[in-house]
Structure 1
Amino acid sequence: MKRYSKIYVAGHKGLVGSAIVRKLKENGYSNIIGKTHGELDLANSTEVEGFFKKEKPEYVFLAAAKVGGILANSIYPADFIYENLRIQNNVIGMAYKYEVKKLMFLGSSCIYPKLCPQPIKEEYLLSGYLEETNEAYALAKISGLKMCQFFNKQYGTNYISVMPTNLYGPYDNFHPQNSHVVPALIKKFYEAGENSIPEVVIWGSGTPLREFLYSEDMADACVYLMENYKGNNFLNIGTGKEITIRGLAEMIKEIVGYEGKLVFDSSKPDGTPRKILDVSKLENIGWTYKTELRCGIEKSYEWFKQNYGNK
């Protein structure tokens, strides 16, 4: 990418997309396009084609998606697969038609089988059954990365895909039903403290192991790979470190300063028992994460406090 190249970041207002925009600007890129959902409905093929025909972006980061945690994925599976397939099909298809030089598709580590060997290598994809609670979202993301691979194979395009671990950071989604675990816990503990609630209930047993990556690090990896990687193999992006949900909850409780009791509701689903990515391929290309979990959560909490009135 040249510093003056026209770069379209789909989902530029979201957790990852906004971080990518900041990183691009930090690296000296000045010709960046972003459209809100009100300006451009990526699920509408006519609108997407009109956008590509008019703007003709040279590079695309496809960070737009319908996302959510276990609860949202359990309640709205049809919405998750339908909306995400529409967005992906439209953007990737128009990127090809209007000769985009390079595209990055952002997936998710939920694409891997529920009982995958750990740490999870890229080649474990489609080697077993998916986790039931986010199967619809995972199938959409698998379709997206496969579409990129097949376009490369048939048409010689330069489309790359990355599969991040669990992400958190500034501009996260703090919705009570649709948020992921880190923002959900930040909000729960904050509100419980503000309202003197004696205990906070957390879904599951607290025993599952999870890996978390700060969104600013994710953006750094994405821009680095767009500048330095070409190939038909998708790549994991993560830290290679893990923590139990209980350990995570206790860390966030301490950072927020909540003094009440933690209660784990084991009648609720845990999801995958363990999920940590093998990031050796990414490290061999020359990128490693920078932000440790506690530091990242402290930064996220500060952002949440400053912006809580808008959530």
Structure 2
Amino acid sequence: MEKNAKIYVAGHRGLAGSAIVRALMANGYTNLVLKSSQELDLRRQEAVEAFFAAEQPEYVFLAAAKVGGIQANNVYRAEFIYENLMIEANVIHSAYLNGVKKLLFLGSSCIYPKLCPQPMKEDYLLTGFLEPTNEPYAIAKIAGLKLCENYCRQYGVNFISAMPTNLYGFNDNFDLANSHVLPALMRKFHEAKVSGAPTVTVWGSGTPLREFLYVDDLADALLFLMQHYNEPQFVNVGTGDEVSIKELALTMKAVVGYEGELVFDADKPDGTPRKLLDVSRLHEAGWQAKTSLKEGIEKTYGWFVESYGQIRGRAAA
């Protein structure tokens, strides 16, 4: 990407999108096209086509999506599949129609089967049943990566896809009802510390294993892929390391400085028992994650404390 290239970041206010913008600006890319969902509804084909025709971006990072944790995925199943299908289909097709030089589609590691062999290689896609609680979202993300792959094969475009592991960092969703496990735990521990609550309840048994990637590391990886990766096959993006939910909770407890007790609610769903990405393809290309889990949590918690009033207001609204 040339430093003066016009770059459209779809979803620039979200967790991944805002990190992509930070990384682009830090690397001298200033000709950015940014539209909020109020300014441009990516679910509307006509609006997306008009936007691309008018703006003519040269590069596209497609990070816009409807996202949430286990409960949100399970409750809003129709919305998760419909809205994500519409967003990705509209943006990818309009990028093709308007001659975009390169597009990067951001997926999710939930595309893999629930009982997938570990670590999960890119070749394991569509080899088994998906986790039922987030199947609609996973199917939408599979459709997005297959759109990119087949537009490459039929039209010769350079549309690539990256499948990140569980992300966390600045601008995450900290709503206790709809967020992912790490930001939910951060908020729970912080509010328990402030209120002096004697216990914090963690959903599930604490035994599932998860991989977590600091979102600014993800953004660094995506810029790397935009510069160096040009294959239709999607690529996993992660750390290659995993931690149990119990270990995550203990790390969070230490970082926040909470002194009460942990309680695990085994009546709540655990989700997939293990989810570790095989990141050898990305390592072979020349990129590795730099931020440890504890360091990333410390950075995120510092931002969380500074932003707490705003975060609480969003959740209440």
TM-score range, shorter-chain basis?
over 0.9
Could you tell me how far apart the structure 2 residues matched to 1:43 and 1:3 are? 30
Could you tell me how far apart the structure 2 residues matched to 1:91 and 1:5 are? 18
Q: Tell me the equivalent position of 1:125.
A: 125
Q: What is the correspondence of 1:66-215 to structure 2 with a 5 Å cutoff?
A: 66-215=66-215
Could you tell me how far apart the structure 2 residues matched to 1:151 and 1:121 are? 23
Report the residue type matching 2:183 in the other structure.
P
1:216-244: CA deviation from partner (whole Å, max 9, x where unpaired):
00000000100111011100000000000
Report the residue type matching 2:76 in the other structure.
Y
The 4+ residue runs of structure 1 with deviation greater than 6 A are: none
Q: Tell me the equivalent position of 1:269.
A: 269
SS in 1 for 2:39: coil
- Matched pairs, number: 311
Q: Tell me the equivalent position of 1:241.
A: 241
SS in 2 for 1:264: strand
Q: Tell me the equivalent position of 2:44.
A: 44
SS in 2 for 1:5: coil
Could you tell me how far apart the structure 1 residues matched to 2:229 and 2:17 are? 19
Report the residue type matching 2:209 in the other structure.
L
Could you tell me how far apart the structure 1 residues matched to 2:296 and 2:30 are? 27
SS in 2 for 1:83: helix
Could you tell me how far apart the structure 2 residues matched to 1:258 and 1:50 are? 51
1:178-219: CA deviation from partner (whole Å, max 9, x where unpaired):
111111000011111111221111111000000000000000
SS in 2 for 1:178: coil
Could you tell me how far apart the structure 2 residues matched to 1:192 and 1:45 are? 45
Could you tell me how far apart the structure 2 residues matched to 1:170 and 1:32 are? 20
Q: CA RMSD in A?
A: 0.7
SS in 2 for 1:8: strand
Could you tell me how far apart the structure 2 residues matched to 1:30 and 1:201 are? 44
Greater mean alpha carbon deviation, residues 197-206 or residues 121-130: 197-206
Q: Tell me the equivalent position of 1:258.
A: 258
Q: Is it true that 1:285 corresponds to 2:285 in the alignment?
A: yes
Q: Is it true that 1:218 corresponds to 2:199 in the alignment?
A: no
Could you tell me how far apart the structure 2 residues matched to 1:45 and 1:233 are? 26
Report the residue type matching 2:48 in the other structure.
V
Report the residue type matching 1:161 in the other structure.
S
Could you tell me how far apart the structure 2 residues matched to 1:117 and 1:88 are? 28
Q: Tell me the equivalent position of 1:35.
A: 35
Q: Tell me the equivalent position of 2:314.
A: none
Report the residue type matching 1:286 in the other structure.
G
| Offset at residue 99 of structure 1 (A) | 0.9
SS in 2 for 1:127: coil
Could you tell me how far apart the structure 2 residues matched to 1:196 and 1:45 are? 50
Could you state the TM-score of these two structures normalised by the residue count of structure 1?
A: 0.99
SS in 1 for 2:222: helix
Could you tell me how far apart the structure 2 residues matched to 1:105 and 1:138 are? 14
Could you tell me how far apart the structure 2 residues matched to 1:107 and 1:169 are? 17
Q: Which runs of 5 or more structure 1 residues have no equivalent in the other structure?
A: none
Identity across the alignment (%): 62
| Offset at residue 246 of structure 1 (A) | 0.3
| Offset at residue 47 of structure 1 (A) | 1.2
1:56-91: CA deviation from partner (whole Å, max 9, x where unpaired):
000000000000011111111111001100101110
Could you state the TM-score of these two structures normalised by the residue count of structure 2?
A: 0.97
